[in-house]
Every structure is written in C-alpha cells, then in structure tokens.
Amino acid sequence: MNFIKSVGGKILAFIFSHKVYAILTVAVLIGTGYYFYHRAHATAKITYQTATVAKGMLSSYVSGSGNLIVSNSAAINPSVSGTVSRLAVEVGDKVTKGQFLFYINSSDSDTSVAKAYSSYKQALQQVESARTKLLQDQQSLANLSGNSAVLKAASSVQQANQQVESAYASLLQAENDYNVLYAKYQADPTSVTTSELTISAQKIDVAEASYDSAKQSLTTARAAYNQELGNVDANLSIAKQQVTASEASLSAAESSANSALAEYDNQKETSSKRYVTATIAGTITEVNIKNGDEVSGSTGSTSQQSTSSSSSGSTSSSTSSTSSSSNGSILIEDFSSLKANIAINETDISKVAKDQKATLTLDAITDLTLTGKVTKIAQKGTNTQNVITYDVTIGIDSIDTRLRPEMTISADITTEVKQDVLYVSSSAVKTDSSGGQYVQVMKNGIPETVSVTIGISNDTDTEITSGLSEGDTVVTQTISAQPTSQSTTRQGGAGVRIPGL
C-alpha cells in the first residue's frame, strides 16, 4: 500500500512538474481512442449481384443416381453331369447365340445311347421278321383259295410289302449316315457344321415319312386282300386265322419298334446336351469352371426371374437384377440391353412417369452424356437408413461401347417443359415468414421488394407467373463489404512511453 502511494505520488509530482509532457500524452491517448472507435463503427458498403428477367422455355426435372444394369443375361449351367473339357471361352469374349462353350465328358451317356440304338435295331428286325411271316401266311392262304381276286389282292400286298422293305432300307441308311456324322461331330465339333447335322436329321425325317407311307399302303392292300378273303370258302378259315395272328404279331412288333425309337431319340437328345452352347448373344462376364471340373446336371437356373431350358445342354435365364453376379458355370450378358437403374427420392417419385426423357452422365466417363427415357417405375420403395427411394429404369437411346454393368450413373429426368414463360434465377426468389414468395427489383439503384407467384422450377431457374415483367432487374445476392482494420505497432514496445518511469 505504501508502495502504491509512493508510485502515485511520483506520477502526480511528475505531471505537475512536466505539464507539457502530460498534455501531449493525453492528446495522443484521446486521438488513438477516437481512431479505433471510428473504425469499429464505420458503415459497411453494400453491393448487389443482379440478373434480368428472361422469357423462353423452362424445364423442370428430378435427379437421382444409381447403376447400369443389363436387362438380358444368361447364367449357363450344364443339364448333364460329367467332366468339363474343351472350354472354349474366357471372360471378355463376345459370343453369338448357339456358339459352342464347353463339353461334358460322360461315359454313362455314351453307354445309354449305344444301348438304346441297339434295342431300336433289334425291334426293327423283329418287325421285319413278323412282316415276312405274315407275307408267307398270306401267300399260303391265297394259294389255298385258288381265287383270282384273292391272288390279285395278294399280289398287291406283296408289292406294297416290297415298297415297305425299300423304305425301311432307306431309313436305315439315313440313320447310319446321321450316326457317322454325329460321331464325327462328337470327336471334333468344328469338323461338322450344325447345318450338315440338320440336313442329315431331315433326311431321317423324310425316310421315316416314306416308311410310314409305305406301311399305310401295305395296310390298305391288306384290307383289300382281307375283303377278298371274305368271299372264300369256309375251308380256308384256318389259313385266315393264321394270317390274323401274323398281322397281330406284326402290329405288336411295330409298336415295340416305335417305343424303342422314342427311347433312342430321347437318349440322343440327352447326349447332345453335353455340348453346352450360348443361349443368347453377348459378352462373357463370368467363367466359374475350368477343364477337369466335375459338374452336376441342373434343371434350374440361378436367376430369381424367368427360367428357360435349352436343347444346347444348359439352362439359362434373363434378368434385370442390379447385380450381375451368378452361380452359373458361365455368365453371358448382353451389353446392348444396358439400362440405368436410378433411385428417386419419395418426394419426387410422383412427378416421374413412363416415357419421360432423361439426360444421363457417368463418373467413370466424364466426357460422355447419354439420353434416354423412363421405361419402368417401381411400385414399392426401398428403405435405406430411413430414406425411402423408388427404383426407376431408364432405357438408353444409344449404347456407348465404353459402358459396363454396375457403373455409377446419374440422371436428370425432365418432368415438365413450358414454352414462352418468364423466369428468373432461382437464387433471386425468397420466402417470407408467411410462406409467400418475393424478389427484390432494382429501381434507380435501390432494391424494392415485390411479391411474385411462381410456377415450375429447376436447380437454376424459376418460373414467374405474376409480379414481374420481362427485362426487370432482380437481386440474386447482397454483398456487404466490411472495412479491414489496420494498426501499426513498433517492434520492441508500446507506442507511448512516460519519461522517468
């Protein structure tokens, strides 16, 4: 306390003894205070950014993002069991429908085909034996009757039988030719064309038709012969009964042959499924097998949508799932069927309709802009962290070769277009406390508030249906330029110093 009194006394003594210094010090302090007070309360300079009310076309749109998907793909699974060999494709290859993919080695299938063919040949031999027996019985009956009409009818039966035998020989030859060609194809699929196999199979069909026609002619001749026999004396009844029995035997043999042929055809069809081919044209995007792998025959498809069986030895399906992954041996995707699957917020989905046009951009290909239109709108939404969105599918007008499934894509879907309307920058339109819209119009350099009615809008512009005229200048942004404070401080101490302290 005594120290403070001592220092205070010294200061007072100094002031009274140095009045000039004291006056200068007070003046400096007052001037400095005024300067900083003025700087702190200086009026900010305000400037305005403006835009002009224009007239023309205005579009509104909703935006969303998603991924590219393929609407046509096939998961290839072999329908027979065995060992994979001759794998002919790899990821990235382009294939056509029906193109060979891989082969399934199956000794069981070879055995089944050979067994069925042997049974079929035996059945045909039994048919021919029964037919020969019938012919002999018919000839015996004719000889016993001595009736010229019966003999003539018997001759007709014999001629018809010869035609049947000739047709049968042609059928066997056609079958043999096809089997030789098919064996060659099995050894090397590239040595025989599909067209050659088809033509050879068609020859079998023609031969079978001729064979059937000849049998029908023989049946007709037999009927005529039997009619003539009806007039023969009862003494020939035993011979007639023998003919009847032989005809029944032939009919049974023919029935057995037909069953054996059906089984043979079935085994051939099953065997042909070892040659697995592409069910659609497209690009190989997955190969989940290799030569030497053991596979089990499948009658189903990994897709959750439609499934179709194919005689090419595989089962496949088309799908528009957003994920192109599958459990198939091979996945083929048709890139020409690429579409955009876009998620649209629940607040905007009511504005979207089929056939609306869209503009598409991709993060991966920044120099590419695509066009398309809405083809499908999901009726059920998806909840992701309490955000509800609806999937919208957009067909692409022109597929660029750089596009790939699963690429991220953004879309602007045009929901409404108006011609010859007034519009301003959306940043000029503001909302008051009551929910009404207004803008500030520059008049003589001063902004005046004007109430407006708005129509459609997008991210940049808003339609004005009343309140403004074309050419009006409106405020889009107000800028306040605050003064910057500057001070100069000498290095090493304060700007004012009292001498003697």
- pLDDT (tens digit per residue) in 27-48: 666 666 655 555 555 555 788 8
**What CATH number has the domain spanning 73-104+277-333?**
2.40.50.100
Cα dihedral 345, 347, 352, 358 sign: negative
The first and second tokens of residue 492, run together, are 């090493």
Query: What is 335-417's CATH superfamily?
Result: Efflux pump adaptor protein, beta barrel domain (2.40.30.170)
Pick the closest to residue 136 from 242, 53, 48 (CA basis): 242
Look at the block and give the residue holding tokens 């595989």.
Answer: 314
In this prediction, residue 287 carries a pLDDT of 92
Helix (H) or strand (E) holding 359: strand 357-362
pTM of the model: 0.52
Average pLDDT over residues 339-345: 96
The residues near 309 (Cβ < 8 Å, ≥ 6 apart) are 79, 299, 315
The first and second tokens of residue 239, run together, are 């011979």
Helix (H) or strand (E) holding 76: strand 73-78
pLDDT of residue 476 exceeding 70:
yes
225-228 long-range CB contacts below 8 Å, 24 or more apart?
A: 225/138, 225/150, 225/153, 225/154, 225/156, 225/157, 227/153, 228/147, 228/149, 228/150, 228/152, 228/153
Look at the block and give the residue holding tokens 């018919």.
Answer: 138
Q: What is the pLDDT of residues 142-160, one digit of tens each?
A: 776 666 666 777 788 888 8
Other CB atoms closer than 10 Å to residue 171's CB: what's the count? Answer: 21
pLDDT of residue 306 exceeding 50:
no
In this prediction, residue 185 carries a pLDDT of 80
**What CATH number has the domain spanning 49-61+418-481?**
2.40.420.20
Ramachandran angles phi, psi of 99, nearest 5°: -70, 140
Q: What is the pLDDT of residues 404-435, one digit of tens each?
A: 999 999 999 999 999 999 999 999 999 999 99
Q: What is the pLDDT of residues 89-122, one digit of tens each?
A: 999 999 999 898 998 887 666 677 778 888 888 8
Ramachandran angles phi, psi of 212, nearest 5°: -65, -40
